[in-house]
Amino acid sequence: MTPNDNHKNNLRQIFWIWLVITAIGVAVGIYGTPWLMPTAASNTMHLSILTMVVFTVAAAPVAALVYAVVIVALTKWRYRGEGIPPDGPPIRGNNPATSVWLVVSTLLTVFLLVWGLALLAVDNGAESKSEMTIDVTGQQWVWTFGYAGTQVHSHDLYLPVDTDVKFEVTSKDVVHGFWIVQMGIKVNANPSAITTTAVTPNRLGTFDIRCTEICGLNHAFMVTRVHVLTKKNFEHWLASQPATN
């Protein structure tokens, strides 16, 4: 076998390994990622899951190429002689390889940038069309929620389904992190400042709220729940609550 034949044989092996690993990566991205993510209770979370799927699929061929080269290098190109292996011939320039590398890297990076900016634009747009505002207060180690235009406060969050909700988030003491897990929104709660985020819950049920900033002794217990109700049930709940201003 000539060196040229040997080179083609190596490339062929790398290609087939790359193809198999890419297929596995794509399958994991399409089927495994949504399975690992929480149940979506908002369009924002749907988009987050879609982003995870697309980014995983996009990353699969890149990661597969690295794995393929590593596998071939470790199994076939491994030095099996005694002592220190001799150095290989110097490589000076490979225009086709460099061009492919630059073009593919640029395309992938631009794709990720455009995707991310597009989703941020969608997310930021949600705040401007909010139908109701919730005042969120974090303090060591409880969340409390005030419903704008009312005297009602609660320790569990109640939301009407299919309603654009804006959250104005602050803290009474240290920095906390307000995260509604299944709705895909998260923002820091800072003392003496108000941060905002927005979401439209589109699924009835009870979901999780957690603090994402280590905030002291009982940070791990700074969790509560959000109940997404029908609009009628939400109005009924709100009307039944005492003023707790």
Which residues, 6+ apart, have CB-to-CB distance to 224 below 8 Å? 142, 143, 155, 156, 157, 209
Residue the block writes with tokens 């089927």: 31
If one asks whether residue 150 binds other proteins (CB under 8 A), the answer comes out as no
If one asks whether residue 163 binds other proteins (CB under 8 A), the answer comes out as no
State the minimum distance, in angstroms, from the CB of residue 141 to other proteins. 7
If one asks whether residue 202 binds other proteins (CB under 8 A), the answer comes out as no
Helix H or strand E encompassing 175 = none
Of 45-53, 77-85, 138-146, 194-202, the window that binds other proteins (rule: CB under 8 A) is: 138-146
β-pair type (132-139, 165-171): parallel
The Cα–Cα gap between 173 and 139 comes to: 6
6, 173, 204, 236: which one binds other proteins (CB under 8 A)? 173
- Please check whether residue 7 is in contact with residue 94, taking contact to mean a CB–CB distance below 8 angstroms: no
Phi/psi zone of residue 213: left (φ > 0), alpha (ψ -120 to 50 degrees), beta?
A: beta
Of 16-24, 34-42, 96-104, 151-159, the window that binds other proteins (rule: CB under 8 A) is: 151-159
Q: Can you say how many angstroms the Cα of residue 18 is from the centroid of all Cα atoms in its chain?
A: 26
Of 75-83, 126-134, 159-167, 217-225, the window that binds other proteins (rule: CB under 8 A) is: 217-225
Residue number, 18 or 143, with CB nearest to other proteins: 143
State the minimum distance, in angstroms, from the CB of residue 17 to other proteins. 25
β-pair type (142-147, 132-139): antiparallel
58, 71, 172, 233: which one binds other proteins (CB under 8 A)? 172
26, 71, 72, 174: which one binds other proteins (CB under 8 A)? 174
Sheet hosting strand 132-139, strand order edge to edge: 153-154, 142-147, 132-139, 165-171, 195-199
Residue count, binding to other proteins (CB under 8 A): 25
Contact positions vs other proteins (CB under 8 A): 137, 139-142, 144, 153, 155-156, 172-174, 191, 210, 216-218, 220-221, 223-225, 242, 244-245
